[in-house]
Amino acid sequence: MKRVIFNQKGGVGKSSIAVNLAAIRAAQGRRVLVVDLDPQANASHYLLGDLQADHHLGEFFEQFLGFNLLPWPAKRFVVSTHFPHLNLMASHPVLADQHHRLEVKHKIYKLRDALKELDEYEDVFIDTPPAFNFFTLSALIAADTCLVPFDCDRFSRQALYNLIQAIQEINADHNPKLRLEGVAVNQYRARANLPKQMIRELKEEGVPIFKTCLSSSVVMQESHERCQPLIHCAPNHKLTSLFQQLADELSD
């Protein structure tokens, strides 16, 4: 299963959700790949710390911007992490300078083709930049589903409607198997009325909302600082349990 973690609104926890769900699936013994398409490289740093990847996605895309008639196999750009069964296609800041050139050269299907080569992985989690650009479109074309982090904000709600429409258009024009897997409510405040009301209204409108809502906790910042997903650095924490429940809701 290949899934994109995407929301056009920043600060909703895309990288944290992508990495922690991937780490939980890997801890279950599944073969898992994280693809980090965000030039900020948060997911890559989360998994590698200060280590530098031998090869990265900037190199992968660069080979399609010249006259390379024999591109490298996709597995060249996959690196191991410290965590069993969990591998990474790492990001690099050079991606920020590449996307316009890649778009002009119509290289929108290269990621899809690469992931087809990497068919040994049972789960692929694709982290994306908070913008609807070349890399996001490449991810949605390559994926089976889209998981949308959502923080119950009015601005997030409008962005969600726009994203649902975009998924429908990509489904019709580029990727007929693409579907919205679900909306993952993050930074949920159980005692606040607005989140409950908004979730209820979205469900009434037919938006697929995961049952599990992720709360905020300082343990997430500690997880980032230690460069260890929650399942490894705080396996007994409540937030880790919530991530495990959310992972159980995912499609296989």
Higher pLDDT, 70 or 89: 89
pLDDT digits over 138-149, tens only? 999 999 999 999
Report, as an integer, the average pLDDT of 101-108: 88
End-to-end CA gap in the chain: 6
**Mean predicted lDDT score pLDDT of the chain:** 94
pLDDT digits over 4-37, tens only? 999 988 888 999 999 999 999 999 999 999 999 9
pLDDT digits over 213-239, tens only? 999 899 999 999 999 999 999 999 999
Q: Write out 138-202 in H/E/C secondary structure.
A: HHHHHCCEEEEEECCCHHHHHHHHHHHHHHHHHHHHCCCCCEEEEEEECCECCCCHHHHHHHHHH
Report, as an integer, the average pLDDT of 146-163: 88
Please give the DSSP secondary-structure letter assigned to residue 73: P
For the record, the structure tokens of 54 come out as 């031998």
Report, as an integer, the average pLDDT of 52-56: 93
Residue 187: pLDDT band with limits 50, 70, 90:
confident
Residue with tokens 């993952």: 184
Give the count of domains, the chain.
1
Q: Which domain holds residue 191?
A: 2-249
| CATH at residue 233 | 3.40.50.300
